Structure 1
Amino acid sequence: MKIAFYAPFKPLDHDHPSGDLAIARGLVQFLEEQGHTIEIQSRVRARWIYLKPWLWPLLAVDAVRSLKNLSAHRPAIWLTYHTYYKAPDLLGPLICHLLGIKYIIFQGIYSTKQKRRIKTITGYYLNRYALKTAHHIFTNKGSDFKNLQRLIPGHRLTYVRPGITPQAFMKNKLAGQENRKAWKLDDSLIVLTAAMFRDDVKTRGLDWLIQCCAMLAEVIPGFHLVIAGSGKMEGYLKALAQKHIPGHYTFAGKIPPKEMAGFYSSGDVFAFPGIRESLGMVYLEAQACSLPVVAFKNGGIPEVVQDKKTGFLVPLYDCPLFFQALKDLLQDSVLRQKMGKNAMEYVRAFHDRDINYKTVETLLVKMGS
């Protein structure tokens, strides 16, 4: 089946890794593995496009080209990944209306508060139109599903659990040992974390984690925090780590996606606060590698981490509880191994991409026939 595809928020070849991009690539990869042909209709990033008139001609050119190509070689469906008020899909609704193509959205988001803000009211109505015209909408976040129910009839909505390919994230003891040796941390109790060092909630989360870990360094001499990632805030974070946990931190740099399983296999616990985290694919990846997780109980994190079973979820900014969770896991190897085993089994049972996306493919084929 031929599928016309567009990702208005972030094109598939965007060079800044993120959970959102990982989900988009995973969806496309899965569909291609099932034998479907994906044809990308535009690489224009539509983030705040209604405030960026210089992008309008680029999108118009892609619209004309897409209309011409799809008229001659008609796809079974059009699939848009991630439309919301900041990056509304302007192509899909127009082209599908003109050509009579089924319009499908994966990860549509609806938020009524945006219509009360001058800056976002245009994006709100553009996105609302896209959502209303969609023949079907898939979402992988419970709160988004609930919000969409206020706008879209239930028969046009499907909730799909977020998923990864568990086989790509299996514990690799050899790779873990090699990393520990390279870091000179053979016998340390390692807390791993990973994020892009952007000047936003990612860096604020790392900032908070580093300061919270200062308490760990005082009570667990063998404790060590290993941070994976890169970005413009690296200097700031290194200075912060030197101030609060001197001798207890290592910056591992940007880890290629194919080497992340080895990175996770190097640690004892994975911790990242996840301030307003939409979902957090790193939590699934870490758990698949048998790591218990410590994070905030907010956003979409409770949908991918089982509190007190595969890790600990604590209230937002509660440093004493966050510290206690890390301390308990680092000092109790039996608890750590039990939660790590639970985490691995949980991901394989409920967050296997191929199993979860089979529901998506079945509906897409039905709608495209």
Structure 2
Amino acid sequence: MIKIALLHFGFEDYTIELANSLAKYVDLTLIHPQKVSDVCINVIDPSIRVISFKKPRIRDLRNILSMGAMMHIIKDIQPDVLHVQETNDPWYDWTLLLNKMPPLVTTIHDIFRHPGDSMAVFGSEYTRRIAFYRSQQLIVHTHPLKNILIEQFNLPQERVNIIPHGELGSLYQRRSNHKSQPREPNTLLFFGRIWPYKGLKYLLEAMPLIAERVPEVKLIIAGQGENIKQYFPDGYDEKRYEIINDFIPLEEVSNLFQRSTVTLLPYIEASQSGVAALSYGMGTPVIASEVGGLSEIVQDKKDGLLVPACDSRSLADAIICLLSDRDLQQRMQTAALTRCQEDLNWSNIAAQTVEVYQKTIKTRH
């Protein structure tokens, strides 16, 4: 059985589900900073070895010691493959450049910073490219991301592997402290960090158009990010909008998706979407802009609908179409759950990931 060290600094949901399924195939050790340990408690397979290390804030020079501790852990494990989830951490990137590493696989969730995303670490967009070139194999979730790495970064196509982002609904159902909620027939959900690229502006422009045809429509806006008041300078109708402009506790997330008829991703730019992966795991269809990798994640007219970006009228029409057709809702809910047993199933994703590990070992030798 091959020995794998799985290192992550974030993307906890993805890493938890991947690790739980990989443990059936490989000898796995999970490595992460102490500050993300709490997220993994009670949802990580107890058979997986978990090692934590102290990790200061990015601007803290003690990161030099932290990276030394991380490298000591990796050398002690002596893995056949080190698999790293994209870090956005320049300290790791420079460590990667200056140290001899085991055969390396890196999962790249986003190649570029999203427009308006103020959470990105200064300089990381440049230093993270070190991982592109130092890794024997890269994993991305969609064809557009693979094409960017090949065309803009001149990487050989045989080094870039496409593996879908697995469903996250089952993880959040395990975390939930609620009983399953009934669907609210005309409730829409906009979930996640609220930045300009998420296109909330166009959804709010669409809402009056939807209300003309579906007077009972309600929109839940749930997540942190921009000051939500800028979108409602004159206040808002609390019967029409439920706004939770805050961090959503992990145990409360599934409740939002279970209540909603459809999840909305009116993005103006996207690489992939963990929100869609979470929505499908709850059996909730998705209406999304046809940008980036979203057209691969959302299967148009099967488990969701695709609309042109920045087009409030088309978005409104798609929402009206779905809310007005209960049979269509049921078919799409069933299709979403079926996807979770097929290409979005973690066991299938883990098996594909192991094939990448085997290719990495073979290439390195």
TM range (shorter): 0.7 to 0.9
Q: Render the CA deviation track for 1:274-297: whole Å, top value 9, x for unaligned.
A: 231221122222233332221211
What is residue 248 of structure 1 aligned with on the other side?
A: 240
Shift in CA distance, 266/240, structure 1 to aligned 2, threshold 3 Å: farther
Shift of 1:128: 4.0
Percent identical: 20
Shift of 1:313: 0.9
Write out aligned runs for 1:81-160 (5 A).
81-82=85-86, 89-97=93-101, 101-107=102-108, 126-150=127-151, 151-160=154-163
Q: Render the CA deviation track for 1:116-139: whole Å, top value 9, x for unaligned.
A: xxxx9x867644443222222111
Shift in CA distance, 343/296, structure 1 to aligned 2, threshold 3 Å: same
Shift of 1:73: 4.6
Are the aligned partners of 2:271 and 2:293 in contact in 1 as well (CA < 8 Å)? yes
Write out aligned runs for 1:48-67 (5 A).
54-55=59-60, 57-67=61-71
Structure-1 separation of matches of 2:85 and 2:304: 30
Q: Render the CA deviation track for 1:90-127: whole Å, top value 9, x for unaligned.
A: 22343235xxx21221227667xxxxxxxx9x867644
Shift in CA distance, 72/272, structure 1 to aligned 2, threshold 3 Å: closer
TM-score by length of 2: 0.75
Structure 1 range deviating more: 102-111 or 330-339? 102-111
Match of 1:334 among 327, 339, 352: 327
Q: Render the CA deviation track for 1:200-219: whole Å, top value 9, x for unaligned.
A: 434xx223312311222233
Are the aligned partners of 2:81 and 2:361 in contact in 1 as well (CA < 8 Å)? yes
- Residue 197 of structure 2 aligns with an amino acid whose one-letter code is V
Match of 1:363 among 335, 356, 360: 356
Alignment partner of 1:298: what SS?
Answer: coil
Structure-1 separation of matches of 2:334 and 2:165: 20
Are the aligned partners of 1:193 and 1:227 in contact in 2 as well (CA < 8 Å)? yes
What is residue 180 of structure 2 aligned with on the other side?
A: 175
What is residue 264 of structure 1 aligned with on the other side?
A: 257
Greater share of helix: 1
Q: Which runs of 5+ in 2 are unaligned?
A: 34-52, 113-120
Asked if residue 27 in structure 1 is aligned to residue 18 in structure 2, the reply is: yes
Shift of 1:322: 0.7
Determine which structure has greater relative contact order: mean sequence separation of CA pairs < 8 Å that are 6+ residues apart, divided by chain length. Answer: 2
Q: Render the CA deviation track for 1:10-65: whole Å, top value 9, x for unaligned.
A: x23xxxxxxx553344334444565511233767589xx7xxxx45x333223333
Instruction: Pick the structure with greater CA Rg.
Output: 1
Are the aligned partners of 1:166 and 1:348 in contact in 2 as well (CA < 8 Å)? no
Q: How many residues align?
A: 327
Shift in CA distance, 255/130, structure 1 to aligned 2, threshold 3 Å: closer
- Residue 187 of structure 2 aligns with an amino acid whose one-letter code is I
What is residue 227 of structure 2 aligned with on the other side?
A: 233
RMSD: 3.6
Shift in CA distance, 235/124, structure 1 to aligned 2, threshold 3 Å: closer
Are the aligned partners of 1:207 and 1:240 in contact in 2 as well (CA < 8 Å)? no
What is residue 115 of structure 1 aligned with on the other side?
A: none
Structure-2 separation of matches of 1:255 and 1:109: 23
TM-score by length of 1: 0.74
Shift of 1:87: 8.7
Asked if residue 315 in structure 1 is aligned to residue 308 in structure 2, the reply is: yes
- Residue 31 of structure 2 aligns with an amino acid whose one-letter code is E
Q: Render the CA deviation track for 1:203-248: whole Å, top value 9, x for unaligned.
A: xx223312311222233222111222245624445x35944x5631
Q: Which runs of 5+ in 1 are unaligned?
A: 13-19, 112-119, 181-185
